[in-house]
Amino acid sequence: MVDPLIPRRSLAAPHQGTQGRNWREQGVRKWRPRQARNGLAGGLGEPSRPLQRRADHRDPDEVFRTYEEFIDPLKGLTYEGLLRTYEDGAGDVDRDFEALNLGTIVDSSPILISIGSNGSSSSSSLVANEAALKKQRTAAWAASPNHVIAFEGTWKIVDDLGILIKRLRGKRPGDENQNNIVSDDCGDREGSNESGGTIEFLERRVVWDENGKGYSTFVKELGVLRGRADNTKSIEEAFDAHMAIGRILYESYLFKEALVSFKQASELQPINFRPRFRAGNCLYILERYREGKEEFSMALEAAELGGNQWSYILPQIHVNLGISLEQDGMILSACEHYREAAMLCPTHFRALKLLGSALFGIGEYRAAEKALEEAIFLKPDYADAHCDLGSALHAIGDNERAIEEFQRAIDLKPSHVDALYNLGGLYMDVGRYHRASEMYGRVLDVCPSHWRAQLNKAVASLGAEETKDAKKALKEAFKMTNRVELHDAIAHLEQLQKHRTKSKGGGVGEVVAFVVVEPFKFKRVDDRTVLMQELARALEIREFQKLTRLNYCDVLLLRKEMNETKMPAFTGSSTREGSFRKAVWEAILRRLLHSLKPETFQGAVKAINQRIFSVLDSRVPCTVDLGMFFAVLAPICGGSFDKRKKIVFDALLWRPANGGGANIRKVDAMEYIRLLRAIYIPSAEPGEVMEEQEETDTFSTISFSEFVEFFDDPESSFGIMNTLVKLETGDRVRQGYHVCSVCQYPIIGYRFKEVKSHFNLCSQCYSEGKVPSSFNQEEYKFKEYGAKYEGATDKSETDDANKERGFETGTYEAEDYGNYDPTPIFYPGDPAPFPHR
């Protein structure tokens, strides 16, 4: 879509006379309707033949190719194309106008003629009229809300730039189709249309060879034009020229050069939002999202300072800023801007859709449902909104409506990958495996490299008891991604095939079943073996830690953030002391987890929002206590156990209520433990310390040593930390040839061996109390093995047992299977991790 701020004609031939151009435009506009009435719409009538002048020396096919972009398949030559033919000298507007017998054009608008100081009236009427038309045209442009070209000198620079770009295009082979660029127009006062100020440059077919000689020559000549812009008479004219250069470069897909022009324009007028807005669009296209976010933020600030004059642009800036934030992983901040855009312009259906998608991304499914339904109400054929609404409905358990929404999205767009993929996940969850496999197959038809679809197709085939198809799909997925988990799944599937027994009827029997025993039946050989219940809680915390990647964040970085963050002074009200909006916390998390990819960081934010923010903001909605937040994060960050406890104490001490002393209030310590247990072990009993909380003196304090003793209490506090630290250091150790007797997977992490029956359990099966049904005992005694060498003495007897059951011996190491990708694999059947944007 062509941006209306720079007329398309500016990309054409060199500048021609002002009077001739304006008169020609008025003439063409007047007799075009006459053409339509005479059945000549889209082209000239028989008497005029505007291309006839060049027919004697120019090939008709060449002429058609020259104006191909102005040909409408249904209407013929467009108005812009007709105007271009006259500017190129391919037609005679005077002759064509006279042939239509429309009479003389009379301009009803007044013409103001300015007389010079010498009072001379000897100038010809033609010169006077031309000067008046120039002034009239400039005044009209200056009054335009879009603020297009306002100086005659800018037109000359624009026309010369058009020649340079045309010359550069001539040296570039290939398709120059620009149909997939959408306008970034910031002059749409409605603010509710799909293209108004939004960024949708998802595909860029025009790629310039920046290393070529022609491009380097173009850049040098462009520098000369910029020098001419800098040497104009006034700052306003220089600003006008740089903005025009930037707009034309932007339309020509020369985004890096356009960015330079918009930057120069913003330096000339720092409080003008337009160059900031367009620079942000360029940075987004160049995938420099953080820089684009800064430019949009400055554009928003400048537009807000302009008052009501620029109020129409605010929704579009908010939307573009939200998109840039989301691309950088800042999904909570994006929600705020989408919400603000929807409030400023209630009919902005795209802002509502983006808001719903972002709310889904942070796990607020009910709110997402409402926003997406409102977007669909405003635009019923919005396929992406139907897809995301289906995801939200599936997340809250309304599967029938979810299927309808997914199907509606597919009806509107049969190749909608996200709708097909998410519908397949829904069918998997409800046990319709054949339909799920069909959906994943359609995803692969559209996108053959979609490894998640390939993986889920394997799982769906396995659910449909199509083992051969499942194994084939798993191998294809492994080729695409080289993930260790997929190699393990393939090995597991092969083992299942080996150990299936033939039934009497010739069918395939089931694998040996397991039973879940009561926790009191699980005994420990010694105190080094962890309790089953404690391991279950630690594994749950460890999974959350892996999902958020906080174990990769050094706990000392929390202290750095505390030192750099200004805490408000204590006012005596404990309800809102040190509370900040969620978006502020998201910015802090982004700094702490700066190495994460945006999509991975969004997954971390979603997990933290659902598990931590949902507890911390219960006292003050939409805000989070700063010091308490740091204290809650510290136990699952990286670093030694002692450092983590020290940072917890410092975070509580840093809160305004403690007044900067050496001790913390005991009531704050108890409140912290209560929140910690509610977040990480919600199923545990409150404990004795919680019962004493109401009786605690508000002014009593405790030292660091007292806090550590209080923190390590396994019964009433958070003594599970020791087990969590063990898992962090050993849950990726592969136990060689040992295989879990319940799930049949190679054991990774800690191994638990039953000393009487000599079977092995992985950490997950041990924590769930599962044992093979063939071993029915009154009690089970387990010994824990961490590293592989700890169980070396038991190798012979276990090795023989495994060989009898058909398992191969040996070790499985991550490096044997290619590059390991630390990004967590999503469980088959889950909806797409992030909805379609």
For the segment 429-461, what is each residue's pLDDT rounded down to a tens digit? 999 999 999 999 999 999 998 888 888 888 888
- Give a yes or no: residue 184 inside a domain: no
User: What residues contact residue 418 under an 8 Å CB cut-off, 6+ apart?
Assistant: 384, 387, 832, 835, 836
644 and 564: one domain? Answer: yes
At CB < 8 A and 24+ separation, what contacts does 442-448 make? Answer: 443/417, 446/415, 446/417, 446/420, 447/417
Check which CATH number belongs to the domain holding 468 and give it. Answer: 1.25.40.10
- Give a yes or no: residue 662 inside a domain: yes
- Give a yes or no: residue 161 inside a domain: no
Looking at 726, 744, 773, the residue that finishes a domain is 726
Question: How far is the C-alpha of 9 from the C-alpha of 20, rounded, in Å?
Answer: 14
595 and 707: one domain? Answer: yes
- Give a yes or no: residue 172 inside a domain: no
The pLDDT score that the predictor gives to residue 57 is 40
631 and 682: one domain? Answer: yes
Return the bridge partners of 554, or none: 638
The pLDDT score that the predictor gives to residue 469 is 84
573 and 722: one domain? Answer: yes
Number of domains in the chain: 4
Q: Which residues of 533-553 are buried (b: 16+ CB within 10 A; e: fewer)?
A: ebbbbbbbbbebbbbbbbbeb
Looking at 701, 726, 751, the residue that finishes a domain is 726
570 and 712: one domain? Answer: yes
Q: What is the pTM of this model?
A: 0.71
785 and 699: one domain? Answer: no
Question: How far is the C-alpha of 142 from the C-alpha of 402, rounded, in Å?
Answer: 51
580 and 700: one domain? Answer: yes
654 and 755: one domain? Answer: no
The pLDDT score that the predictor gives to residue 20 is 41
The pLDDT score that the predictor gives to residue 124 is 40
477 and 610: one domain? Answer: no
Question: How far is the C-alpha of 608 from the C-alpha of 633, rounded, in Å?
Answer: 10
- Give a yes or no: residue 148 inside a domain: no
User: What residues contact residue 297 under an 8 Å CB cut-off, 6+ apart?
Assistant: 321
Q: Which domain holds residue 38?
A: 8-106
The pLDDT score that the predictor gives to residue 509 is 40
Other CB atoms within 10 Å distance of the CB of residue 123: 13
Other CB atoms within 10 Å distance of the CB of residue 796: 9
- Give a yes or no: residue 448 inside a domain: yes
Residue by residue, DSSP assigns 651-705 as HHHHSGGGTT-SSEEHHHHHHHHHHHHHHH-TTS---HHHHHGGGS-TT-EE-HH
59 and 74: one domain? Answer: yes
Question: How far is the C-alpha of 54 from the C-alpha of 64, rounded, in Å?
Answer: 12
Contact 689, 676 (CB under 8 A): no
Q: E strands, 444-494, where?
A: none
Sign (positive or negative) of CA dihedral 92, 97, 103, 105: negative
The pLDDT score that the predictor gives to residue 48 is 30
Contact 28, 168 (CB under 8 A): no
39 and 96: one domain? Answer: yes
Three-state SS sequence of 815-831? HHHCCCCCCCCCCCCCC
Looking at 726, 760, 788, the residue that finishes a domain is 726
- Give a yes or no: residue 178 inside a domain: no
Crossing angle of the two packed helices 289-305 and 314-327, in degrees rounded to 10 = 160
Residue by residue, DSSP assigns 33-79 as HHHHHTT-TTS--TTT-TTGGGTTTS-HHHHHHHTGGGEETTTEE-H
The pLDDT score that the predictor gives to residue 620 is 54
678 and 763: one domain? Answer: no
- Give a yes or no: residue 174 inside a domain: no
The pLDDT score that the predictor gives to residue 490 is 67
Return the bridge partners of 751, or none: 762, 785
Eight-class DSSP state of 614: H
Q: What confidence tens digit (pLDDT) does each residue in 592-602 have?
A: 999 999 999 99
pLDDT lower than 50: segments of the chain: 1-62, 102-128, 130-131, 133-147, 175-204, 501-511, 569-578, 688-694, 789, 791-793, 795-837
